[in-house]
Structure 1
Amino acid sequence: MFHYATFASLIVYNIATLLHNATMASSIKKQLYISHSASILMFVVMIIFLLVDLSYLRTQVPKIDAVRTLTSTAQQLTFLEEKLLLNGKESTLVLLGEAIGKLQALLQNDRELLKGFIDNSEAGTLKSHVSEYQTLLKGMKEPAPDRTVLLAFTRELNQHNTAIRSIINQLELRHHELLLGAVDNVTKAMIFGLIVVSLIALISALFVTGLIVRPLRDLERQLHDVADKKIDKLSTTSRTRELNSFVSQFNNMLDQRRRKDRQLRHNEKAAALGILVSGVAHELNNPLSNISTSAQLLQEEDTNSELSRQWLNHIDHEIERARRIVLRLLDSVRHQKQPMTKVDAAILVQKSLTLIHRQLDPNINIYIEDIAEIPLHVNYERFQQVFINLINNAADAGAKNIWVFGDYIQQADSRTNNFVCSRKKPPFAKDIQTFFLFTVADDGVGIPEENVSKLFVPFFTTKTGGDGTGLGLYLVNEIVTEHDGCISARNREHQGFEFLILLPISEDDS
């Protein structure tokens, strides 16, 4: 019969497996598949148990037939007894013998079928009455002509028949109750199975819906926060592949959008800077021309002071350099390609320091440390401006010691690890294998970490009192970028700050 405990344990195990597997599923498709599979599995289990009960009912059919045959045979005995009493014919007596023989054969042949309906004592009593019934029939070869004798004979037969029918009726009643119980169990199994399958389907739907809808609602809330600029990117705790892919792609889209916005702002600032520089250059050219003319007139005058002539020559030289700087600024904002020449790295640094040395505090020490003598393909005058601006920045930051390093490195060199360029990919992201690395370091106060990423933004300055324009490092970055290099800035581990300039070295340079 139907095993409710077994079925209940299967339900508990299946629900636990469903919850675990649905939680661990890597995709929404798998979660739905597991949910539907569990419901189908439980439906199949219910059908199997129903088939088992129906199979049990099927096994009862032969027993039903056996009990019915016994009942009909006992009823036939009663009918023949009454007939014998009425007509007293020998043929009726023969029919009684055949009927009781049939009953005895049924009891013998259907012994296994009747197990469970009749106990041993009842079986013994039934067989005893059947045997005595047969003995009585054998004792009377033919019906007695005397009605009194015939009546007594049939009454004695009927007593045994009554006992036989009583036991058979008990068998029929028990079997009927057993069949009713089996049908009742099948009905209960169907109702129970339908309820369980419905509950599992409902629980699965609610659980899987929770697994899917809850992360989606969380993403919806985060999307509003992103729109309100409360958060920078989406995140999800869901393990499903679809949601994680959506979050990843959306975050990539946000990053690309931010990069484009930053580039747009940079271009707008660069355009504004171009207008500003053009105006400043135009305004500076006039006083520079006047100063140059005045210096030339003074040189033509007779003067007895050799020192005066030297200073006038120096003034004229610096005016010419100022003009070239103005022209370079104009070229920078006009994005004109600058002519490149081969310059030894050590000479480039030395000449740059010579130009700035007179402008620095005498207490500031500048150390040139092991600059490798390697020719670089650069614009000489523009790259001098890089070192001049960086050293001026270090001096303004209160540095007492400034170091300049330069070395030839390979792509796999550890010094390029975690190299973060200010605006573009580092050269080693390309197919170039060799580089030159300049390092300008100082022992100044350093820069707050939150400002490091803003150093190369136009008009950003950490100087107070209107001393800084915010254009020096911007121009440094522009010049380095023109040379297909990149510049990185960071605080030193103990004290001070450093700039690292990475320039690619082509085969033509070497």
Structure 2
Amino acid sequence: MFGTLYSISLRRKVIIGAAVVYLFMTATILGSYYSMRSLEDKISYLENVSKLEESVLEIRRFEKNYFLYGNKDSLTTALYHLKRVEALIADNTAKIESLSSPGQIAEFKASLAEYGQLLGQCSNSFVKDSDGKPDCESAMRKTGNAMAQFGETVAKRKRDSIKETMRATVTLPLFGLIVVGCGLVAIGSFLFTKVTRSLLLLEDGTTRIAQGAFKPIETLPAERDIRNILIAFNSMALQLQDREEQLVQSKKLASLGTMLAGVAHEVNNPLSNISSACEILLEELDEADKEFQRKFLKNILVQVEKARTLILNLLEFSRAKELNLESVSLKGIVERTLESLSGEKPTDLRVTVQIDPAIRVHVDRGKMEQAFTNLISNAFQAIDGDGEVKIRALAKKDGIVKVRISDSGKGIPEENLPKIFDPFFTTKDVGKGTGLGLFITHDIVLRHKGMIQVKSSPEKGTTFTIQLPAVENS
């Protein structure tokens, strides 16, 4: 049963909840309508009961006038009201019985008959100041009191019944309003919880995709419609991952022509130098001294090393080597990089490091040191004379660490910024750079599911910003 309930879609659950609230509202309205109609009938019925009570009271009033003033017309009027009471009893016996009992009705009718007989006796034997008047008066008053008490009791019970109906008429809509309000709050809370939780899952998933982590959402809700949306989102994430990999391969293939041209140019220079040195050595082999030969052999070794370094960089890029990811201190990586570059740092250049030692990143230590080496080395070379390099890091709440490497150097022309990460693109003088450093750095950052951006202005310096996955605090 519960499995069937959980499998119901969110839309159907909302419809069922709204239908239940609607049915309860309808029942409340119908109940209120019934109470109002019942109240209307009771008020109409109260008029007859009130007439009964009023007629009995009129009988007692004219009875009192008769005995106080000796007016025989008062007895006639009392007899008229007595007939009226008898008619009301005859017309409303069933209703009055609901307010008393058949026995009480019978007693009341007997009292009416006895009172009528007493009225006749008093009327026939009336003699002012006679001795028989007190006896007649006492009997009539006793019977009249019983009649009045019955009339008051019936009227009071009817008024109490009307009060109860009025309370129910007021309480029922109020109770319905409270229940309906609670139902609407429950439906709203249910919707808010389910929809908000699903939106948070989507937000988290889209954030991870924006960071390059195409990880599907694992915790799926039971509601079928929301579950289908998240399943479709997971399918989209996996397709984006496949397309991202295909796009990377396409970019690599697209840059292959540029790389081949660059390789041909970069390898041709040392080969030309080696060829020239070998020709000179061959020509001067018999006549040249050892120092002369040593000079050209050293030059050949330098050129071979350049070609070897170039080939190693290309091989490093071409290999799809798995990253050895681990939790490492970001400040430790930067300090190790600066230590390895201490020989390249100009004397007048200042390096400022502002990194919290508690910040840890999930990276391949060797690859990330290589990336920072390329960026910091470029920053050193961009500054002529006095200057400063700032390395700062900020841990964000979304599990990302931002690292900024800024220099006060000559900057990069705006037209060169779009090409800064292209292979073999360099702004350095011939022989001072291969144009592969930033290209490899860009590839390393992307393989870590990160991002790298550059901002630069001529004569104002350059800032590289890297986003890396942080290690969550446990």
TM-score by length of 1: 0.45
